[in-house]
Amino acid sequence: MPENNPRPDEAAQLEGSSVSDAASRDAVLSPATAAVGSSGLVPAEKPGRFANLKSFRRDQMWSYFGPAFVASVAYIDPGNFSTNILGGSQFGYRLLWVLLWSNAMAILIQYLSAKLGIVTGRTLPQNCRKHFSKRTSVFLWVCAEISAVATDLAEFLGAAMGLDLLIGPALLAHGLSHTTALFISAAISTALVFAILALDLAGYQWLERGIMGFVGIIGLCYGFEVFLVHPDWQKAFYHTLLPTFDHGAMKESVYAAVGMLGATVMPHVIYLHSALVQPRLKTLAPPPPKRILPAIVREYLRYELVDVFVAMNGAWIINSAMIVMAAATMFRGPSYSPTIQDAFHTLAPLLGRGAAVVFAVALLCSGLSSSTVGVMAGQVIIEGFLEIKFPIFLRRFITVVPALIVMGAGWDPLRILNDSQVLLSFTLPAALIPLLLLTARRDVMGEFVSAIRTSVTGWVVAGIIVALNVVLVVQLAMG
């Protein structure tokens, strides 16, 4: 694929190339298709949903890798560090199965988001603006903005905490207070995130590769940690496959499981993934007024499914490694509630200073990459719902201000991080429900409308996620 492709913010509107706008333009059709309706093509002889899988070309497949890896960052963010460490230290390997099923849900949700973007040529926010009433769109926009700001604040605080673990002791040794050291870490993190965002100026694939590099570093760090701790693999595999709770501490184990699920499915990347697929889609589009053939769209969907499957399973392995590490080194029972800082200070005497440093590096990479993705999601949300252009660097600057205030005021960043996860549980339905509604509408998706079994599965997943997040909120309210 060529490197000088349009940036994600430039490719949000695919005028003249989307399948769902096909009927309003002159169509270039394959013999088996015809332009029917306002949403796309209805095949005269409908092929299998993923026919001709043997046509996969490995050289092409690699060029399609990227969007799902960027989205997967949200599944290994600082919130996941916190909940996975808590789950492993309280219940050992027992809750590994939660991650397996959370990952299955994530694969479905992220693929549907990408599918909506590929088929319609619009992001999820743009589709909401087009197909829902103005009042509904405004409500969805407010919910989306709340989720984006809360997420970005949490991810940024996570990056600052990771950097503070690395350089904080040196700053304290020079007589600085802990609040000042944390503020300095936050300021440095701000500069680093700006540098990562600047990769987008060189082309969207450079930014994707940068974030994929961070994901790789996080994976290597946890691979190193697991190698050092020598976990009980028999127990790990057993509890991955067999759902169980701690019957002696049922309330606590359910709470931990709900927290792990809530930290896994994040609303902002549901919006974002539908935008991440746009740049590649535009490179496939012929010059207007012609449009993309359904066969090309179908091929892109196949490649994106592979992208989602590989990326989400990679995130699942990293999350599982977090629990395995915590279970092998920090298991104390349900009464133990360690923080991220506790994990750092526990690893040093047990496995050596190097293990603790590797943990902090993983947290820093997680915070920086997820903070970058959070800013990208915020830009997609505001541009899609309001139909305006909004500079991504301005978005970063605006969201940095509250984080720096939190650091400067001396508030507990870990408490802010955990509270933001609760806030996200309220906004999750505002992203999930529109996605399921839109992908099930033939006037939106055309021949690529979700099958009944897919829609039913999606609604079951949405119901489970929403119900468990409500349980999390209720349990937090009850103390």
8 belongs to a structural domain: no
In a domain, residue 7? The reply is no
Number of Cβ within a 10 Å radius of residue 144:
28
Average pLDDT, the chain: 80
**pLDDT at position 410:** 64
Residue 9 lies in a domain: no
Residue 5 lies in a domain: no
* Spatial separation of the C-alpha atoms in residues 243 and 262, rounded to whole Å: 17
Structural contact between residues 161 and 390, judged by C-beta atoms closer than 8 angstroms: no
**Residue 351 placed within a domain:** yes
Instruction: Tally the domains of the chain.
Output: 1
Q: Please check whether residue 130 lies inside any domain of the structure.
A: yes
pLDDT per residue over 385-397, tens digit each?
988 887 777 777 7
Confidence of residue 354 (pLDDT cuts 50, 70, 90): confident
What is the domain extent for residue 57? 19-477
- Please indicate, yes or no, if residue 210 is contained in any of the structural domains: yes
Rounded distance between C-alpha atoms, residue 321 and residue 315, angstroms: 10
40 to each of 17, 441, 442, how far by Cα in Å?
A: 11, 12, 9
CATH number at residue 343: 1.20.1740.10
Percent of the chain with pLDDT over 70: 79
State the pLDDT at residue 422. 65
Per-residue model confidence (pLDDT) at position 12: 42
How confident is residue 408, by pLDDT bands cut at 50, 70 and 90? low
Phi, psi of 28 (to 5 degrees): -110, 110
Which tens digit of pLDDT belongs to each residue from 196-227? Answer: 888 877 777 888 889 999 999 999 999 998 98
Confidence of residue 273 (pLDDT cuts 50, 70, 90): very high
**Does residue 11 lie within any of the structural domains?**
no
